């Protein structure tokens, strides 16, 4: 089996609870959403990149593993558009793997949920994305989170906030998570201020308000994209 992959590279994880870990990133082509803050726009194109087999991907990863290697990151685009390929790959070549997903495809997640160790679900806000009807998208994301929690996957969800994001919107999503996630004690929320961070110079106090509002319902972190600050991929 082959699938289209944009790039395979080694770097430091710049987001979420694996922040600072050395990972090998496998960036898949294509995305089913069109988020207005997307920082990997080329990867939205399902024809961008090259066709790579399971064996070829393993060889690419093997060549760039370093002594501090922690895990692979399955990212995109939207990696769950390639769930069958990921299943074949992880069945044949096991690695500790982080799935970075928008959570919109729970029926594809079911194919690989028992093969991954970590997951980050990017919850979209109403102003982020125009392809899905937002309530339907949120319901799919909640279904994906519950699948991950039920399987015992180390999971966090992420909300990318803009200076224009309403505090009450973040609070509503946090309350929705608390109401509908089966075991909220096993889930953390990452509030990620959008890059570039200079856009936050006059709005930094709002980040505290996001955190305080969400903290009424679940464990919360504020973590920017550290790799952007380091000027690395």
| Tens digit of each residue's pLDDT (9 = 90 or more) over 1-59 | 899 999 999 999 999 999 999 999 999 999 888 777 766 667 777 788 899 999 999 99
pLDDT digits (tens, 9 = 90+) for 50-92: 999 999 999 999 999 999 999 999 998 899 999 999 999 999 9
Residue 29: what pLDDT? 94
Q: What percentage of the chain exceeds 70 in pLDDT?
A: 97
pLDDT at 192 over 90: yes
pLDDT digits (tens, 9 = 90+) for 112-121: 999 999 999 9
Half-sphere exposure of 114 (CA within 13 A, CB side): 4
Residue bearing the bigger pLDDT, 151 or 133:
151
Contact 6, 149 (CB under 8 A): no
The pTM score is: 0.94
Contact 86, 50 (CB under 8 A): no
* DSSP-derived pairing of the beta strands 2-12 and 22-28: antiparallel
Question: What gap in Å lies between CA 101 and CA 119, rounded to an integer?
Answer: 8
Q: What angle do CA 121, 163, 11 make, to 5 degrees?
A: 45
Residue bearing the bigger pLDDT, 232 or 161:
161
Domains and CATH numbers, the chain: 2-230 (3.20.20.70)
* DSSP-derived pairing of the beta strands 2-12 and 50-53: antiparallel
Helix or strand or coil: residue 135?
helix
Contact 27, 8 (CB under 8 A): yes
Neighbours of 132 (CB within 10 A): 18
Contact 167, 213 (CB under 8 A): yes
Taken as a whole, the chain contains a residue count of 233
Task: Pull the structure tokens for residue 41.
Answer: 């726009």
Contact 190, 120 (CB under 8 A): yes
Helix and strand element counts for the chain (H, E): 7, 9
Which residue bears the tokens 């990921």? 86
């Amino acid at each position: 089996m082959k699938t289209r992959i944009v790039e395979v590279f080694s770097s430091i994880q710049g987001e979420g609870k694996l922040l600072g870990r050395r990972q090998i990133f496998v960036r898949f082509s294509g995305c089913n959403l069109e988020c207005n803050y997307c920082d990997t726009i080329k990867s939205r194109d399902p024809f961008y990149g090259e066709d790579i087999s399971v064996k070829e991907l393993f060889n690419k990863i093997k060549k760039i593993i370093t002594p501090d290697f922690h895990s692979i990151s399955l990212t995109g685009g939207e990696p769950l558009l390639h769930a069958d390929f990921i299943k074949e790959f992880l069945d044949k070549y096991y690695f500790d793997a982080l799935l970075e997903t928008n959570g919109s495809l729970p029926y594809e997640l079911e194919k690989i949920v028992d093969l991954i160790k970590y997951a980050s679900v990017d919850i979209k806000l109403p102003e982020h994305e125009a392809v899905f009807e937002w309530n339907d998208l949120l319901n799919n994301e909640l279904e994906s989170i519950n699948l991950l929690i039920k399987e015992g996957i180390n999971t966090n969800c992420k909300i990318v906030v803009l200076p224009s994001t309403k505090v009450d919107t973040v609070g509503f999503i946090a309350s929705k998570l608390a109401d509908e996630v089966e075991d909220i004690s096993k889930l953390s929320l990452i509030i990620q201020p959008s890059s570039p961070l200079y856009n936050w110079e006059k709005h930094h106090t709002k980040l505290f308000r996001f955190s305080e509002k969400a903290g009424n319902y679940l464990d919360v972190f504020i973590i920017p994209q550290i790799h952007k600050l380091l000027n690395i991929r």
